[in-house]
Amino acid sequence: MRKLLLAVLLCAGLCANAVSAPAIVVGSKIFTEGYVLGEVAAQIIEASSPPVPVTRKLGMGSTGILFQSLSSGAIDVYADYTGTLTEAIIKNPQLKSQQEIQNALAKLNLVMSDPLGFNNTYALAVREKFAQDNDLRTVSDLARLKDTLRAAFSYEFMDREDGYPGLAAKYHLQLSPKNVNRMEHSLTYQAIDQNAVDVIDVYSTDAKIRKFNLRVVIECRATKVFGLECWNCLESLGP
């Protein structure tokens, strides 16, 4: 919990340099964890001394939208994953340490807080009844159904090397292209709840896994842990 507070206070300290500071715009991605972290950041900034006004732009979309908004100055801060930063933004997944990531972000005029102290990862999930009917527990079990399996995967999961491409190669899970639907992450839950698809990609902290009674299939060695959550903000906010 201490790491979470340090991360948010870093942004608050960067933003509270003047008594008449302009509003700080807090953005977030379009899933539950993003909304929660965005609101946490907004409330801590508002509680700083002297007070700093905050504009909330929560649930904006995926990584590409948030990063473009951050780069253009449309938002000032949002929470992201170190794995996403290295894979999708810096485009150098070999970077592992926090300092290496910081150095790379500095070239983009961005800074990153300390990690918030928890991590998240990709996983695959199916309806509990579907899992029982087909005796599914692992990703390898899913491979038995690859010729008929219907999937709804998020855009990022489909494009990232540590997403579907790596998973398919590791577990011989090359699904028929006509059975794979690309869509926004939040819509995949609607698709599986309506029995329109059989499997979706999830984030391991998603509350909707329990809400929709889904089973997470295990043994996802092909996908790497996203990494610790962290705040990203424009370097120009610094002193």
The domains located in the chain, with CATH, are: 2-118+227-237 (3.40.190.10), 121-225 (3.40.190.120)
pLDDT of residue 129: 97
Report whether 62 contacts 155 (CB < 8 A). Answer: yes
Give pLDDT tens digits along the chain (239 positions): 222 322 332 333 344 444 556 899 999 988 888 899 999 999 988 998 888 899 999 999 988 898 899 888 899 999 988 888 888 888 898 888 889 988 998 888 888 888 887 777 889 999 999 999 999 999 989 999 999 999 999 998 998 888 899 889 988 999 999 999 999 888 999 999 999 999 999 988 888 999 999 999 976 443 333 345 565 565 444 43
Give the pair of three-digit tokens for residue 152.
């709804």
Q: Give residue 20's pLDDT.
A: 56
The gap from C-alpha 165 to its chain's centroid, in whole angstroms, comes to 18
DSSP letter, residue 23: P
How many distinct helices (H) and strands (E) make up the chain? 11, 10
The predicted structure's pLDDT at residue 229: 55
Distance between CA atoms of residues 231 and 163, nearest Å: 22
> Tell me, what's the pLDDT at 11?
37
Q: What pLDDT score does 9 carry?
A: 26
DSSP for residue 114: -
Global confidence as pTM: 0.67
Side chain identity at residue 143, one-letter code: A
Query: Strands 225-234 and 77-81, how do they pair?
Result: antiparallel
pLDDT in tens, 142-161: 999 999 999 999 998 998 88
Please count the other Cβ atoms lying within 10 Å of the Cβ belonging to residue 96.
11
Please report which residue ranges of the chain form alpha helices under DSSP H: 2-15, 32-46, 63-72, 82-84, 98-106, 128-134, 139-143, 155-159, 164-171, 185-193, 208-211
CA dist., res. 176 & res. 191, Å (int): 18
Q: How far is C-alpha 102 from the geometric centre of its chain's CA atoms?
A: 19
